[in-house]
Structure formats: C-alpha cells, structure tokens
Amino acid sequence: MLVYYKEYSTIEEAIFEEKRIKAGSRKQKEQMIEAENYDWRDLWENISNSY
C-alpha cells in the first residue's frame, strides 16, 4: 500500500528527503502522512496513472 509519495526534480533531493524521513520517529512519519493523506488511502492509482 502506497500512502505517501512526493516527486523531486533531482535524485539528490529525493535521497536527502528519504534520509530525513527515515531519521524521524514513527509519530513524525504518521503526522507527515496524515497531513497529505488523512484517510491513509492507497495512492498507487494516482501515481500509476500519471506514467
């Protein structure tokens, strides 16, 4: 299930953000997800239809 994704213009930006997210607590990750996807919907359809 894909509950959060974000697009970046460079791989370096994406890697930096991934490391920042991984360093955070579970609570911070949940808050980040809920800020963008409150219902925890599966977002795979959103991303798979755009490519």
Q: What proportion of the chain, given as a percentage, has pLDDT over 90?
A: 86
Q: What proportion of the chain, given as a percentage, has pLDDT over 70?
A: 96
- Confidence label for 49 from pLDDT (cuts 50, 70 and 90): confident
> According to the model, what pLDDT value does residue 19 have?
98
Whether 6 and 17 have beta carbons less than 8 Å apart is answered as: yes
DSSP-derived 3-state class of residue 27: helix
Kindly report, residue by residue over 14-31, the tens digit of the pLDDT. 999 999 999 999 999 999
Higher-pLDDT residue of 9, 47? 9
Does pTM surpass 0.85? no
